[in-house]
Structure 1
C-alpha cells in the first residue's frame, strides 16, 4: 500500500514536470514540425504518465501538456495566447485527446491490478485445497489458512478457536456479508467491523471452530476477498472432516 501511494505521488510530479520538459526540448524544432505533430508528441507523454500513475495524474498531465504546448510551441512564443485558429483547435484537441487517453490508460492499469489480485487469490485457494487433498494434518491447514487470511483481508491479527462458540461477535457469512452484533453500528460495505469478526469452520454438519479476524482500521476489504476467505474456511472444515472420517480406520 505504501509503495502504491509513493508511486502515485511520483506520477503527480511527473504529470507536471514531464510535459514541461518535453515542450522545452521541442523548442529548437518547433519551426520545422507542424503543430499537430508536436501535439502528438505531448500526447505520448500523457499516456506514459497515465499508465504509470493514476487517473488524476493522467488528467493533470493532459492539462499540463496543453498549457505548455500553448506557451512554448504556438505563436506568439512564450505567451499564453494563440495567434491562429489552427493552433487553437490543436490545443483544444490536445487537451481533449489527452484527457480521453489518460482515462483509458488508467482504466487499463486498474484492470491489470484486479487481474493480478484475482490470480493471487486463486493461488491461495489452490494451495490450501492441495493441502487438504494431500491429507495434511488439520492444525497445519489451519495455520496456512490463518496466514493467508491475514494477507487476503489485511488483518492486524487472526487466531483460531477450536470448538468454541462464545458470545455474539460480528460474523462473516458465506455470501461475504457481515452480521453485526446487536446494537452495533452498521458495517461499511468495504470494511470489516473494528471488533473481532468470526469466520466459522464447519463441514458435514459439524462445527469445528472459528477464525477470529481483527481488522486493520479503515482498511478496505472487497466483497470478493471476503468470499475467498469463506472458501478458505470451508477447505479447513474439509480437512477436519477428512481427519475425523479417517480416524476410526486407523
Structure 2
C-alpha cells in the first residue's frame, strides 16, 4: 500500500518543525515566559495539522512537548523537569496541541468535503443546462464522457448507442457495481477487471451506455462520485431522448 506523499510530508513536518521552532526560540528562553513559549509551539502544531494528517498533527504535539521540555525547562538539554509549573506547562502543551491539531484536521476535511460537493453540484448543473438549452445530443454525450473520466478517475471512456451486447460489470443507479448478477465489493476488491458499463436511460427508455475503463491500480471513487456519474449519464440520455422525435420524423 502506497503512503500518500502529503501524509508523508505531514509526518516529517510533525517530527522536525517543533524541534526547529524550539531551537529557534532559544534566544528568547530567558526573556519570554515559558507559557508564551509553549503558545508559540502550539502555533507550529496547528500549522503542521493544517496539512490534513491526524498522525502528523499528533506527532507535532508530542514533539513540541518533548522539545519544550528539552530546550526550555531546567535542567536544560535534559528531558527531566524540576519545576512543577514547567511540568504543568509541558502537559498542557501536549494536551492543547493534540486537541487543536485534531480540530485543524477536521476543519480541513470538512473544507475538502464542501469543495468536492460544490464540484459535483456544478457538474450536474452544467450537464442539465446543456440539455435544457438544446445542446446537440452528440455534444452532450461527448461532454458527459469527459466529465465521467474526471469524476471517476478513468483511463478511458466511450459511448455505445443502443447496444446491450455481453454482460460486462455494470455501475448501477444506486452507485453499486454488479458483476454477473452479484454485487461487487468495491471497498475490498477495487474495480473489477475490464470495461464497466454505465447505462444511459431517460423516461424508462434505454439510449445507450458508457463503457468505462478505470486507471490501472486506481481506487474506486466514493459513493457520492459514483452517484454523480449515474446522474451525468442520465443527462446525456435526456439529450438523446429529446432528439429522438426529430430523428423519427426524418
Query: Is residue 184 of structure 2 the alignment partner of residue 189 of structure 1?
Result: no
TM-score (norm 2): 0.91
CA RMSD for the aligned pairs? 2.1
Measure the CA separation in 2 of the matches of 1:131 and 1:146.
14
Taking the TM superposition and a 5 Å limit, the aligned residue runs for 1:1-250 are 5-181=4-180, 186-189=184-187, 191-216=190-215, 217-247=217-247
Measure the CA separation in 1 of the matches of 2:213 and 2:31.
64
Q: CA deviation at 1:247?
A: 4.1
What SS class does the counterpart of residue 119 from structure 1 fall into? helix
Measure the CA separation in 2 of the matches of 1:154 and 1:140.
21
Measure the CA separation in 2 of the matches of 1:97 and 1:194.
48
Q: Assess if the C-alpha contact under 8 Å between 2:54 and 2:105 holds in 1.
A: yes
Q: CA deviation at 1:129?
A: 1.2
**CA deviation digits over 1:65-103, x for unaligned, max 9?**
011001001000011111112111211111111111111
Measure the CA separation in 2 of the matches of 1:205 and 1:28.
75
Q: For the structure 1 residues 249 and 166, does the alpha-carbon distance in structure 2 shift closer, same or farther, using more than 3 Å as the test?
A: closer
What SS class does the counterpart of residue 25 from structure 2 fall into? helix
Q: Assess if the C-alpha contact under 8 Å between 1:192 and 1:221 holds in 2.
A: no
Q: Assess if the C-alpha contact under 8 Å between 2:177 and 2:183 holds in 1.
A: no
Measure the CA separation in 2 of the matches of 1:9 and 1:74.
31
Q: Assess if the C-alpha contact under 8 Å between 1:187 and 1:193 holds in 2.
A: no
**CA deviation digits over 1:189-225, x for unaligned, max 9?**
3843233211101212321110111122341310000
- Greater alpha carbon shift after TM alignment, 214-223 vs 184-193: 184-193
**CA deviation digits over 1:97-141, x for unaligned, max 9?**
111111110111111111111111111111211111111111111
Gaps of 5+ in 2: none
Q: Assess if the C-alpha contact under 8 Å between 2:34 and 2:89 holds in 1.
A: yes
Measure the CA separation in 2 of the matches of 1:194 and 1:33.
62
What SS class does the counterpart of residue 158 from structure 2 fall into? strand
Measure the CA separation in 1 of the matches of 2:34 and 2:157.
60
TM-score (norm 1): 0.91
Measure the CA separation in 2 of the matches of 1:173 and 1:248.
29
Gaps of 5+ in 1: none
Q: CA deviation at 1:185?
A: 8.4
